[in-house]
Amino acid sequence: MSNNVLNRYLFEDLSVRGELVQLDEAYQRIISSKEYPAALQKLLGELLVSTTLLTATLKFEGSITMQLQGDGPVSLAVINGDHDQKIRGVARWEGDIAEDASIHDMMGKGYLVITLEPKKGERYQGIVALEGDNLAQILEGYFANSEQLKTRIWIRTGEIEGQAKAAGMLIQVMPDGTGSAEDFEHLEQLTDTVKNEELFTLEANELLYRLYNQEKVRLFDPQPVEFHCGCSRERSGAAIVTIDRAEVNDILAELGSISLHCDYCGTTYSYDEAEVSELFAEANSGNKTLH
């Protein structure tokens, strides 16, 4: 069974909301684009689950980027998602990484940058210190500081029948402040009992029933999550004309063509001399419609 889905739910009587995200294909697409070390695959999975959980809180059309940067063996790990739950991601690393390396072992001295970019309106960027044992704890700190909302997050990655899985849950008090601390703690304890196998394989209905069968839970329509890279030949062409023409000519003289490689999906876009001339001619004529 393949499921790439984000579910939102609500404990109506307790003023707590929840999210459940279960990913396999979307996760597999991201980790299969390079020969990532196992620990980094896991970290990308956690970042992917985090980003997807956050996309559900977007109150606008636009995108969200979660980017880990540091001075450790992993210099960058980034996931982009949007309000339609279209996601992509990539990481850069150097050298060997132990199988059980923690986020701190991998990132060294680092931080998490969260960027919210509405299609219309101002872009917001938050920088979060890597305080906590793992990404879930780091994000809980982010919610506590930025939104002052009590939030608990569970993130798991693993394998079922040879298929890589990444999944997570979130519970958060409603901003209206009517929920009680005792109720929240009770839901934390219940959610804490979730097993990887359940999280990876059960349908939302069944999973929520197993965890919270004493509670009244309203489950909203599921939203599909999909790997999608926004790159295209047009965009690559537009990038080439921003490079100095003399530099482009040097590359053409040496290699016969100029190529741009998309790190997110692995596609390479190549342009020969005639195509490059056409790109520059169009850019210079002020006609920005590239084809």
* Residue 78 contacts Zn ion per CB under 5 A: no
Which residue lies nearer to Zn ion by CB, 142 or 264? 264
Question: Least separation, in Å, of the C-beta of 207 and Zn ion?
Answer: 33
* Residue 79 contacts Zn ion per CB under 5 A: no
Question: Least separation, in Å, of the C-beta of 262 and Zn ion?
Answer: 3
Based on the number of CB atoms within 10 Å of its own CB, is 106 exposed (0-12), middle (13-18) or buried (19 or more)? buried
Question: Least separation, in Å, of the C-beta of 34 and Zn ion?
Answer: 13
* Residue 174 contacts Zn ion per CB under 5 A: no
Among positions 212-251, residues that touch Zn ion (CB under 5 A) are 229, 231
Question: Least separation, in Å, of the C-beta of 289 and Zn ion?
Answer: 21
d(CA 279, CA 241): 7
Angle between helices 135-146 and 38-55 (to 10 degrees): 30
Question: Least separation, in Å, of the C-beta of 171 and Zn ion?
Answer: 34
d(CA 68, CA 64): 13
d(CA 197, CA 180): 31
Residue 30 has which token pair?
A: 């991201």
* Residue 264 contacts Zn ion per CB under 5 A: yes
- Stretch near Zn ion under the rule CB under 5 A, chosen from 60-68, 103-111, 123-131, 258-266: 258-266
Question: Least separation, in Å, of the C-beta of 265 and Zn ion?
Answer: 3
The amino acid sitting at 81 is: G
* Residue 90 contacts Zn ion per CB under 5 A: no
Which residue lies nearer to Zn ion by CB, 252 or 290? 290
Segments in 1-157 forming alpha helices (H): 25-31, 38-55, 103-107, 135-146
Which residue lies nearer to Zn ion by CB, 8 or 88? 88
d(CA 80, CA 253): 36
Buried-exposed string 135-174: b where 16+ CB fall within 10 A, e elsewhere = bbbbbbbbbeeeeeebbbbbbbbeeeeeebbbbbbbbbbe
d(CA 250, CA 261): 18
* Residue 265 contacts Zn ion per CB under 5 A: yes
Give the Cα-Cα-Cα angle 260, 265, 270 (nearest 5 degrees). 25
Which residue lies nearer to Zn ion by CB, 47 or 231? 231
Among positions 51-70, residues that touch Zn ion (CB under 5 A) are none
Which residue lies nearer to Zn ion by CB, 242 or 268? 268
Question: Least separation, in Å, of the C-beta of 285 and Zn ion?
Answer: 28
Which residue lies nearer to Zn ion by CB, 90 or 170? 90
* Residue 262 contacts Zn ion per CB under 5 A: yes
Question: Least separation, in Å, of the C-beta of 267 and Zn ion?
Answer: 5
Per rule CB under 5 A, count of chain residues that contact Zn ion: 6
Locus of tokens 């695959």: 41
102 Cα distance to chain centroid: 18
Which residue lies nearer to Zn ion by CB, 82 or 140? 82
Phi, psi angle pair for 108, to nearest 5°: 65, -140
Interface contacts to Zn ion, rule CB under 5 A: 229, 231, 262, 264-265, 267
